[in-house]
């Protein structure tokens, strides 16, 4: 792994013509398909952009941890204490992705992973002729598809038992350029109990924010669910004193159905509002897909044979 | 336990990580946003390092404090260093040289250590549970979450053996069986507690280096010996203080006055006949069913095992001690006029002997030996001619270690080894979804021997260079074990 002395960002080539970019908590896996020279230039563009992504975010971190106030759909705004205008490109992507959900508690951090993926993908493809490309930021994926191309991705329903429980297949004409997954077992806290909520949307930031909100909605009141105030776990959490899920024992059928239905209801509402293309929810082995005729086809459940070291 | 990267604790136990500009503030036991750094006991620790171990000798009579206040977490210059396979990664399938082939010098001899993590499908653990309680029938299935992960095997001295894992449970059964087996192995190898159930037997909680819990009861002590052995050990101490002692034991219950030891002391027969099948005088099999009561039987009231009291020998006022083989259960009785045993306060001297039985029992533990075969392709990461590695190990020219810990290499074909998981560094084990277990393994040999067996000599790196890696974690060498990097004997002349 080569580390840039200036920024501290690091990169290393991976197998399968992929690159790994890492800086602090950000881990990206990138791949471009196309002419070798075009791909090489694309990777250099992405690397150049990546170097300042983390410092830009850190500079505005306190603001990014503040809730997005309701009914403020325009951007940028001049501002109140709570919603000062954000200046960084990634920060603005985050805010824009979260603003439609501002009738509930949400902070721009809900879309940080997706927004970083979108920003680096934009740099990767700018001016390049590529058939296809992706930037995967820890499961939140920004994709670019030329006409006729497809992108296949696997969904791991329970990271405690890593295996693919479903695959999502996206065609260029679907209008999907972002895939994101959220759940209480992941790196970020969740108010809900979903093992995985995978969302397809117009970009990764939108998918990330929606996956967060749908995952929050997959819940029910049940003694088997243990929650703790987020700041008891992380003193700087943007979720403040909101109770986040720390453990979930096996639930009975009634509780599972209720929690799943809550999530599906939220997903349908977001789809009706044009915020997402489709969503897939997994909860203790139960699965549900939300969306119209397209989404269930786009996300198809599939038990895959385990393949290792592919 | 991971050693610190640098100390950074504040009053409220929060550690501020300065590994990147995010400057996460991390509460105890949690990780930062990256999951790479965490707060381990108030110190910032790198959580996915590969581990080197250093031997800090008593130099000029003073121990160099390791991981002490003044230590910055870096390698101690000049101290012998051994690179372990923990976190080294693997190059599976190992057609390429192993991740680290490291040259070091020890006592002036050039040594080469090939460091890798093996992915083991052929692996499992052998668990020894110190108990006389009945765990379940031999060959019975051992289940976790309803899946068979292993079986009950032989009863050994004061203990019961379980075999957990193995390729047939990992990959030979259903997918769920494999996943649960893999999780069970990982937990046992990582020193975590695992709840198990034996078919037609008991519920167990097993944790390496900790007392077993059987049917909800924590096992405290191993028995001092079987009932007959206990009689033999304590007969002289009982003589003159009691007229009969019955040591209740599921294996062999001992009756003092009938036993050779009582005969030797000329003790008169007490006429108290116990149930079960007489083996030799004073030694009885099967006085009750196996269970979790007295001495590994199902007996809750010890008088249940008395079949009859013969008035020919028994007399009113006869003093009877009944005790289990661990001293955990003991009652003192005196026969009344109708020769019925009546509970009575235990005299101080007898209480002392009961306590002494307990004192002579070793702490009961579950112990876990990881057993795995370093087969075909892993060896190719070491040498271009794999069988030569096997031969070199058999000839004791190559030392095999697991995370630097000594292993026992089983005779016969292949490199099948066993290691006590508690001697290995923390977080030595991992898994892959195959499912299979990932474990560190190191092969150490003289440089000339490495060249002779067709080793990847071109990939040898100096230990100083490896030590410059940023994800290095230094651990103090486990002082009890032999130094894994010590020189090996020279190849005998042909």
B357-377: per-residue pLDDT in tens?
988 888 899 999 999 987 666
A237–chain B nearest CA distance, Å? 10
Q: Does the pLDDT value for residue B333 go beyond 70?
A: yes
pLDDT of residue A263: 93
B32 touches chain A (CB under 8 A): yes
**Is the Cβ pair A236, B19 closer than 8 Å?**
no
Angle between helices A36-50 and A112-125 (to 10 degrees): 140
Q: In what helix (H) or strand (E) does residue B416 lie, and over which residues does it extend?
A: strand B416-420
CA distance B438 to B378: 12
Structural domain span for residue A37: 8-301
Chain segment A238-253, per-residue pLDDT in tens: 998 899 998 898 899 9
Q: Does the pLDDT value for residue B261 go beyond 70?
A: yes
Residue to substitute from A23, A306, A307, A310, interface B, most B β-carbons within 10 A? A306
B21 touches chain A (CB under 8 A): yes
Q: Which of A265-274, B146-155, B460-469 has the lowest mean pLDDT?
A: B460-469
B146 touches chain A (CB under 8 A): no
Q: Does the pLDDT value for residue B342 go beyond 50?
A: yes
pLDDT of residue B477: 65
- % of chain B beyond a pLDDT of 70: 79
Residue B185 pLDDT class (50, 70, 90 cuts): very high
Contact at 8 Å (CB) between B81 and B104? yes
pLDDT of residue A292: 42
* Total Cβ atoms within 10 A of residue B231: 28
CA distance B433 to B483: 34
B73–chain A nearest CA distance, Å? 21
**Is the Cβ pair B19, A24 closer than 8 Å?**
yes
CA distance B148 to B142: 6
Chain segment B373-399, per-residue pLDDT in tens: 876 667 777 777 778 888 888 888 888
pLDDT of residue B88: 59
Alpha carbon dihedral B414, B419, B424, B430, in 10-degree steps, equals 60
Q: Which of B30, B93, B433 sits opposite A162 (nearest CB)?
A: B433
Partners of B35 on chain A (C-beta within 8 Å) are 25, 187
Which residue has better confidence, A171 or B287? B287
B451–chain A nearest CA distance, Å? 29
B19 touches chain A (CB under 8 A): yes
Which residue has better confidence, B97 or A213? A213
Among A78-82, B166-170, B480-484, top mean pLDDT goes to B166-170
Q: Is residue A27 part of a domain?
A: yes
Which residue has better confidence, B251 or B93? B251
Residue B89 pLDDT class (50, 70, 90 cuts): low
Partners of B19 on chain A (C-beta within 8 Å) are 24
Tokens of B24: 């996460």
Domain assignments of chain B as residue spans, ordered by start: 81-122+375-476, 123-218, 227-347
Tokens of B32: 């930062």
A229 touches chain B (CB under 8 A): no
Which residue has better confidence, A109 or B114? A109
**Of residues B191, B138, B142, the one with CA closest to residue B165:** B142
pTM for the predicted model, two decimal places: 0.49
Alpha carbon dihedral B376, B379, B381, B384, in 10-degree steps, equals -90
Show which of residues 179-208 on chain A sit within 8 Å of chain B, judged by CB atoms. 187
Q: Does the pLDDT value for residue B50 go beyond 80?
A: no
Contact at 8 Å (CB) between A198 and A99? no
Provide the domain count of chain A: 1
A5 touches chain B (CB under 8 A): no
- % of chain B beyond a pLDDT of 90: 43
Q: Is residue A310 part of a domain?
A: no
B71–chain A nearest CA distance, Å? 25
Residue B87 pLDDT class (50, 70, 90 cuts): low
Which residues make beta-bridge pairs with B437?
A: B120, B431
pLDDT of residue A291: 58
B392–chain A nearest CA distance, Å? 29
Contact at 8 Å (CB) between B150 and B469? no
pLDDT of residue A159: 59
Task: Give the DSSP letter of residue B328.
Answer: S
CA distance A162 to B97: 28
Q: Is the ipTM of this complex over 0.90?
A: no
Residue B149 pLDDT class (50, 70, 90 cuts): very high
Partners of B20 on chain A (C-beta within 8 Å) are 8, 23-25, 54
* Total Cβ atoms within 10 A of residue A137: 26
Burial status of residue B183 (CB atoms within 10 A of its CB: 0-12, 13-18, 19 or more): buried
B33–chain A nearest CA distance, Å? 6
DSSP-assigned states of every residue in chain A: -EE-TTT--EEEEETTTEEEEEETTEEEEEEEES-HHHHHHHHHHHHHHHTTHHHHHHHTHHHHTSPPPTT--SSS----STTPPP-SHHHHHHHHHHGGGTTS---GGGGHHHHHHHHHHHHHHTT---SEEEEEETTEEEEEE-TT-EEEEEEES-TTS--EEEEEEEEGGGT--EEEEE-TTSSS--SS--SEEEEEESSHHHHHHHHHHHHHHS----TTEEEEEHHHH-TT-TTTT-EEEEEEPPPPHHHHHHHHHHHHHHHHHHHHTTS-SEEEEEETTEEEEESSSHHHHHEEE--PPP----
Q: Which of B7-21, B279-293, B393-407 has the lowest mean pLDDT?
A: B7-21
Low-confidence ranges of chain A (pLDDT < 70): 1-7, 15, 70-84, 156-165, 291-310
Q: How many cross-chain Cβ pairs, A to B, lie less than 8 Å apart?
A: 55
A9–chain B nearest CA distance, Å? 9
Residue B144 pLDDT class (50, 70, 90 cuts): very high
Burial status of residue B222 (CB atoms within 10 A of its CB: 0-12, 13-18, 19 or more): buried
CA distance A186 to B233: 59
**Is the Cβ pair B20, A161 closer than 8 Å?**
no
Partners of B22 on chain A (C-beta within 8 Å) are 24-25, 54, 58, 61
Q: What is the CATH number of the domain that holds A60?
A: 3.10.520.10
| Mean pLDDT to the nearest integer, B267-283 | 94
Q: Is residue A34 part of a domain?
A: yes
Q: Which of A25, A27, A54 sits opposite B32 (nearest CB)?
A: A25
Q: How far apart are the first and last CA of chain A?
A: 22
Sign of CA dihedral A166, A167, A173, A177: positive
Q: Does the pLDDT value for residue B350 go beyond 90?
A: yes
Tokens of B70: 């003044």
CA distance A262 to A243: 18
Q: Does the pLDDT value for residue B122 go beyond 60?
A: yes
B463 touches chain A (CB under 8 A): no
Q: Which of B18-27, B97-106, B160-169, B437-446 has the lowest mean pLDDT?
A: B97-106
**Is the Cβ pair A24, B92 closer than 8 Å?**
no
pLDDT of residue A78: 41
Q: Does the pLDDT value for residue B57 go beyond 80?
A: no
CA distance A215 to A195: 8
Distances (CA, A) of B456 to A310, B112, B114, B401, B461: 25, 11, 9, 19, 11
A163–chain B nearest CA distance, Å? 7
Which residue has better confidence, B470 or A241? A241
CA distance B437 to B236: 53
Task: Give the DSSP letter of residue B434.
Answer: T
Could you give the 3-state DSSP secondary structure of residue B26? strand
- The pair phi, psi for residue A78, each rounded to 5°, is -95, 150
Partners of A8 on chain B (C-beta within 8 Å) are 20-21
Q: By CA distance, what is B18's nearest residue in A?
A: A24
pLDDT of residue A167: 72
CA distance A118 to B200: 58
**Is the Cβ pair A236, B25 closer than 8 Å?**
yes
| Mean pLDDT to the nearest integer, B466-482 | 61
CA distance B254 to B271: 14
Distances (CA, A) of A13 to A1, A21, A46: 8, 9, 14
Across B249-340, the runs of DSSP E, i.e. the strands, are: 253-255, 272-274, 277-278, 283-285, 306-309, 319-324, 330-335
Partners of A54 on chain B (C-beta within 8 Å) are 20-22
B20 touches chain A (CB under 8 A): yes
Q: Does the pLDDT value for residue B212 go beyond 60?
A: yes
Could you give the 3-state DSSP secondary structure of residue B66? coil
């Amino acid at each position: 792994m080569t580390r840039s002395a200036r920024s501290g960002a690091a990169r290393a080539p991976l197998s399968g013509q992929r690159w790994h970019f890492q800086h602090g908590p950000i881990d990206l896996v990138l791949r471009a398909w196309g002419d070798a020279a075009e791909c090489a230039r694309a990777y250099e563009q992405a690397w150049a952009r990546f170097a300042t992504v983390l410092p830009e975010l850190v500079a505005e971190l306190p603001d990014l941890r503040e809730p997005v106030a309701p009914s403020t759909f325009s951007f940028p705004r001049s501002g109140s204490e709570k919603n000062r205008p954000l200046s960084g490109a990634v920060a603005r992507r985050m805010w824009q992705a979260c603003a439609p959900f501002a009738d509930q508690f949400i902070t721009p951090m809900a879309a940080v992973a997706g927004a970083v993926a979108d920003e680096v993908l934009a740099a990767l493809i700018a001016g390049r002729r590529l058939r296809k490309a992706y930037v995967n930021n820890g499961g939140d994926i920004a994709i670019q598809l030329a006409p006729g191309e497809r992108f296949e991705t696997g969904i791991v329903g329970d990271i405690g038992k890593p295996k693919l429980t479903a695959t999502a297949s996206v065609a260029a004409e679907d209008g999907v350029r972002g895939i994101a997954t959220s759940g209480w077992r992941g790196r970020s806290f969740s108010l809900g109990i979903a093992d995985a909520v995978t969302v397809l949307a117009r970009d990764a930031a939108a998918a990330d924010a929606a996956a967060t909100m749908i995952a929050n909605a997959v819940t029910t009141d049940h003694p088997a669910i243990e929650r703790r105030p987020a700041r008891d776990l992380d003193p700087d959490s943007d979720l403040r004193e909101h109770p986040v899920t720390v453990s979930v024992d096996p639930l009975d059928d009634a509780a599972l159905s209720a929690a799943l239905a809550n999530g599906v209801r939220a997903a349908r509402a977001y789809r009706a509002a044009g915020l997402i293309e489709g969503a897939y929810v997994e909860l203790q082995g139960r699965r549900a897909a939300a969306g119209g005729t397209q989404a269930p086809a786009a996300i198809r459940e599939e038990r895959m044979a385990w393949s290792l070291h592919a | 336990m991971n050693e610190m990267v640098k100390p950074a604790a504040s009053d409220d136990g929060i550690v501020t990580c300065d590994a990147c500009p995010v400057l996460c503030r991390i509460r105890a036991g949690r990780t930062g946003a990256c999951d790479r750094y965490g707060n381990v006991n108030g110190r910032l620790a790198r959580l996915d390092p590969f581990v080197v171990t250093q031997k800090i000798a008593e130099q000029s009579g003073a121990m160099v404090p390791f991981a002490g206040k003044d230590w910055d977490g870096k390698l101690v210059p000049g101290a012998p260093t051994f690179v372990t396979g923990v976190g080294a990664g693997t190059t599976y399938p190992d057609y390429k040289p192993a991740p680290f082939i490291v040259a070091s010098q020890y006592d002036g001899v050039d040594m080469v250590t090939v460091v890798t993590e093996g992915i083991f499908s052929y692996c499992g653990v052998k668990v020894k549970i110190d108990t006389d309680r009945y765990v379940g029938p031999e060959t019975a299935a051992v289940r976790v979450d309803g899946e068979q992960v292993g079986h009950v095997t032989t009863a050994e001295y004061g203990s019961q053996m379980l075999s957990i894992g193995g390729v047939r449970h990992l990959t030979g059964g259903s997918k769920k069986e494999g996943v649960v087996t893999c999780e069970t192995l990982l937990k046992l190898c990582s020193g975590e507690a695992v709840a198990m159930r034996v078919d037609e037997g008991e519920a167990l909680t097993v944790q390496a280096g900790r007392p077993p819990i059987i049917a909800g009861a924590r096992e405290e002590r191993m028995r001092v010996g079987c009932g007959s052995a206990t009689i033999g050990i304590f007969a002289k101490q009982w003589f003159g203080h009691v007229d009969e002692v019955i040591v209740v034991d599921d294996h062999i219950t001992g009756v003092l006055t009938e036993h050779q030891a009582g005969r030797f002391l000329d003790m008169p027969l007490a006429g108290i006949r116990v149930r079960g099948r007489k083996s030799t005088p004073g030694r009885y099999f099967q006085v009750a069913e196996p269970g979790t009561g007295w001495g590994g039987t199902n007996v809750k009231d010890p008088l249940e095992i008395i079949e009859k009291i013969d008035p020919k020998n028994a007399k009113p006022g006869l003093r009877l001690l009944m005790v289990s083989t661990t001293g955990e259960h003991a009652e003192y009785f005196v026969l009344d006029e109708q020769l019925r045993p009546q509970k009575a306060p235990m005299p101080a001297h007898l209480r002392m002997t009961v306590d002494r039985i307990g004192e002579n029992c070793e702490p009961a533990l579950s112990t876990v030996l990881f057993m795995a075969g370093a087969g075909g392709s892993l060896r190719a990461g070491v040498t271009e001619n794999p069988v030569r590695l096997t031969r070199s190990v058999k000839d004791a020219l190559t030392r095999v270690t697991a995370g630097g810990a000594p292993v026992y290499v089983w005779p016969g074909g292949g490199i099948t080894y066993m290691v006590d998981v508690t001697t290995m560094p923390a977080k030595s084990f991992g898994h892959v979804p195959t499912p299979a277990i990932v474990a560190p393994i190191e092969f150490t040999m003289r440089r000339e021997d490495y060249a002779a067996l067709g080793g990847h000599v071109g990939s040898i790196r100096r230990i100083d260079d490896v030590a410059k890696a940023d994800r290095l974690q230094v651990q103090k060498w486990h002082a009890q074990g032999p130094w894994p990097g010590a020189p090996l004997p020279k190849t005998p002349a042909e």
